[in-house]
Chain A
């Protein structure tokens, strides 16, 4: 069957691609756009390693057909922070040891960015819920939770500067 033309914004850049409409957003990001920071874990929406923001909402990119992302604004890990300056969430994950093998990390960071957009000063419960779809088999989560708290403080004090 046929391909169609789709346009959407990825990390602020307008992209035009001709694709089968059922191509998964995850595969389009990785294979068509070379944005391999977004990882594939389970491929069935259980592990969160392919998390990205679509129009500001956290989604599993393995479950989004590209036709449903047409016109949307996508944020991937490559668009969080800048080449020479890490985002406060990235910095906090590094400083707290919130990343080990790294497969879950891009998704964890996107889920944290999403959480802090909705809840700038999250409670423990809000942190647990905000990250509940992102599985990590290395850290035991405690350092990740610490990183989220640290990032929230850093963003808040940064906003006051």
Chain B
């Protein structure tokens, strides 16, 4: 059943302050809509529960990418097109540029925003693994002020996020310290373009005297929410990247990557592919170390 547009309200306040006041005065009454690539799908299918929407897509305060000496701040309203084309993102955060370019089609990248992707909190979100890999922090804003939440503390469960009813995601901040790091990202889907991931992964790492000094691995579609593979990383830290370590890491991965059967794939396929991707990334990491 289609939705009937006249049953819905959609307002467009002129400023971020006005949106925040609305969210504060009438908590849980209004749902923000940015590019609409998720909400309008639900609307079209007659499955959009909320009846009151507030448009945040035109707010210039949310659409800037600001670069400082040691940080980049990406406004939550930035589209994937804006992100993947931005020179500083491409230079310092190539995995994020790559993940943005793998998110949906060109038309969806033109409309879809990083803030919407994160607030929608799909376990299969393509931008999430890169944010784990780059130690991102989210800036949340409300009339009460702003606060920062490390991205790995943002997802609390299936479609549950650490965002209060009166808050918006304002920006994603990432430290510019991964320029020399190993980096890896790969997405497995049904077709090369515009597929929702069966599995997506992104990682950064560094070695010291042939041993893993730092590693950060983000994975999508293997848990109720996007996941940083903390347990697997722990097995790798301080270890040399040989066959035995890689086997250990694959074993550790099985403890924290617990995918399910759904319309896009099966648990057993996802578990196998997750292990294969982990192995590929670790072998590339080792080869990267040998070249240095």
Contacts and interface: CB of A to CB of B under 8 A. Distances in A.
B287 interface: no
Interface stretch (A62-70, A75-83, A98-106): A62-70
A50 to B, nearest CB: 9
A156 interface: no
Contact of A62 (B10, B12, B44, B58): B44
A51 B43 CA distance: 18
A132 interface: yes
Interface stretch (B100-108, B141-149, B219-227, B232-240): B100-108
A22 B44 CA distance: 10
A16 B33 CA distance: 24
A65 B41 contact: no
Nearest to B42: A44
Nearest to A133: B105
B108 to A, nearest CB: 6
Nearest to B9: A1
B106 A130 contact: yes
B66 interface: no
B5 A23 contact: yes
Contact of A133 (B3, B53, B194): B194
Nearest to A134: B105
A48 to B, nearest CB: 6
A65 B36 contact: yes
A14 interface: no
Given A24-B44, A43-B44, A63-B41, A111 B106 contact: yes
B117 to A, nearest CB: 14
Interface residues of B, number: 34
Contact of A63 (B6, B40, B51, B58): B40
A68 B104 CA distance: 20
A59 B8 contact: no
B106 A67 contact: no
- Chain A interface size band reads 35 or more
B107 A59 contact: yes
Given A44-B45, A133-B193, A65 B40 contact: yes
B8 A45 contact: no
A146 interface: no
Given A20-B5, A65-B10, A132 B105 contact: yes
B110 interface: yes
A57 B110 contact: yes
Contact of B41 (A2, A44, A57, A111): A44
B106 A133 contact: yes
Nearest to A67: B10
Interface centre among A3, A57, A114 (most CB of B within 10 A): A57
Nearest to A28: B5
Contacts of B107: 45, 48, 51, 58-60, 111, 133
B11 interface: yes
A63 B10 contact: no
B55 A1 contact: no
A148 B38 CA distance: 30
Contacts of B108: 45, 60, 63, 133
A36 B106 CA distance: 23
Contacts of B57: 68
A21 B9 contact: yes
Contacts of B5: 19-24, 27
A129 interface: yes
Contact of A48 (B44, B53, B105): B105
A98 B199 CA distance: 34
Given A63-B108, A133-B107, 7 more contacts: A22-B3, A24-B44, A44-B45, A62-B40, A63-B40, A65-B40, A67-B11
11 contacts: A1-B9, A20-B5, A22-B10, A27-B5, A44-B45, A45-B105, A57-B81, A60-B111, A62-B44, A63-B40, A133-B106
Shortest 4 CB-CB distances between A and B: which pairs? A133-B105, A132-B193, A21-B10, A20-B5
